Structure 1
Amino acid sequence: MSYGFEKGRSYNRRQDIHARFGGSQQSGIIPAPAHNVIFIMSGARGPEYGYDDEVLEDGTVLYFGEGQRGHQQYIRGNRAIGDHAADGRSLLLFHKRYPQRDIIFVGEMVCESFEWRQGRDADGAMRQVIVFHLRHIDSIVEQVEATAPILDDLGALRALAYAAAGVREPMTGNKPRTIYERSADVRNYVLARARGTCEGCGAPAPFVRRDGSHYLEPHHIRRVSDGGPDHPAFVIGLCPNCHRRVHAGIDGASYNTSLLARMPAIETKL
C-alpha cells in the first residue's frame, strides 16, 4: 500500500484525500502541502476539458498536464509531476468514475519523461499540451532489482545518479535514458558509495554477490515504497536487517527519520 491506499479500491476524494492531506479540491494535480506526496486524477471525461489520458500496451500511462485553455506551461502542478523524483515526492494516480463520482486508486507511479504535443483545449482551439510518461513503481523495482549492480568509478557513478534524479528536460529526437536505466544509476551509485558497509548501522554487508560486489539494499528514505529514481541525497545503502527495521520495526518511522538526518554527512563526505 502507498500512504494507506490499496490498488483497485474505491475512495472519496474529499474525505480520503483532502481531509487527510489538504490540497486544491478543483485541480486534477494535487501536491499535498505538508506531505511528500502528489495526487493526480484521471477520468473518462477528460477529453471534455482538453485532456486525453491513455494507457499503452507496455503499461506506460500517458497523462496530460493541467490547464484547460491556452497553451499549457511547465509550472505549478505540471512541474510538480516532472520534478517529483528529484523532490522526493511520491506520485499517486487515481481514476475518477462516472456516474459513481468516486475515485479508484491505480497505483504509485514514477514520471519517466514528458513531451510536448499539439492538442485541443476545452473550447476546441489548438494549443500545446504536456504529456507525461508514467510507469508503475512496482514494475520498475522488479526490473531494476533483477540486474546486478555495476561498481565502477565512484565519480562517474555519482554523475550518472545526479543526472538521473530529475526529468526536467522534455523528450527530444534523442530518446532519454529509460526509467529503468536511471533508477539503476541511482542504485549503483548508492551501493558503491556505501563501500560494502551498511550506512545505517555500520555493519559489513552480510555476503558478497556472485559478481564480487557486496550485498546491500538501497532504501528511498522519502518514499513509502522502495524503487524508482530518486535523488542520491535521499537514498541510503542498508543491510537487510536495517531495511526490514525501517519497514516492519516498531521504531521504523523514527529510525527512518534518523537516517534522513544522517544523509547530509553521508552524501557530502566524498
Structure 2
Amino acid sequence: MLKNYQDLTPGDVLLNQDLCDYFGCSPQGGMRRSKRTNTLIIVSNHVESIYEDKWIGDILHYTGMGRLGDQKLNTQNKTLAESKTNGITVHLFEVFKDKNYIYQGPVELIDEPYQQQQEDEQKKSRTVWVFPLQLKSKNSAVTLTEIIETSKNKQRKLRKKTLEQLAAEAQATAKNDVGFRNTSTKYYIRSDSIVQLAKKLANGICQLCEEAAPFLDKNGDPYLETHHIEWLANGGSDSPENTVALCPNCHKKMHVVNDEKDKLFLRMKNLELKKLLITQ
C-alpha cells in the first residue's frame, strides 16, 4: 500500500525506496512518471551527474532526460513540457549527499522549454531540452551549508586530477552566465574544477603578492582562496581566465580596494600560468 505523498513537507530527506513507497514510481532515473499517483518525480543530483541543471535565483533550469546524443521532446520530457495542461503534478528532489533525496516540493513550468548544447556521457556535444521550473511555495528547503559541503566534497576528489585533466574540465564548465541560488544570501554556483585548477596552477604562491601561502590547510595543502578578477556580481565570468588563487590578505584587499592596476597584474599573471600549462 502506498504512503500518502501529501504528508511530505519540504526538507524531508528520503531514500530511494521511499520515493517508490510514496509516489509509486520507478526506482531508477532522474525523471520518474507514476500513473498510480499521476505525478512526475524529477531529481536534480549535485553529487554526480552529466546534466547541467542550473539555478538562476528562484528558477531551476532543469535538463531533460537522455544521456546519449540529442534529446527528444518525448517520454518524460514531453510529460514535463505539457505539465501545465496534462494534470500531472511535478515534484522536485535534490541530492547533495549520495542516496539522500531532499524533498523540495511541487514545481511548475513557468516558461517555454528551450534547447541548448551540453555534453553527453561520452563527452560529445549534443542538444538537450531545458525546462524553467519554479517551486510553487517559492521557498527552498536547501540550506547554504548543504551546497557548500557538496562543493567541498567535489573539490577533494578533484585534487587527485592532473593539471591537464583539470584544465579540460575547467574549460568545459566555464560560464559567462553564472548560476546562483537565493538561500540566506545570494550564492553563486561556481565550477569546482576551475577552483582546483587555479589553486594547482598557483602552486602554493599567491598570485598578487607572490608570497607563499601563510599556512597549510587540514589536508596539508597551501591555503589559498580563489577570486574572480572581475566579480561575478559585476558580470564577470566563472572561467579559468577570470579566476586566480590569492592569500587571505590579498583576497581581502581585492574586495576592499579592487585596484585596476592589481586587476591588470592578475590578468597578466594568469596568462603566464596558462601559457605554462600549454607548454607542458
The TM-score, its normalising length taken from structure 1, stands at 0.47
Bigger RCO (CA 8 Å, 6+ sep) = 1
The TM-score, its normalising length taken from structure 2, stands at 0.45
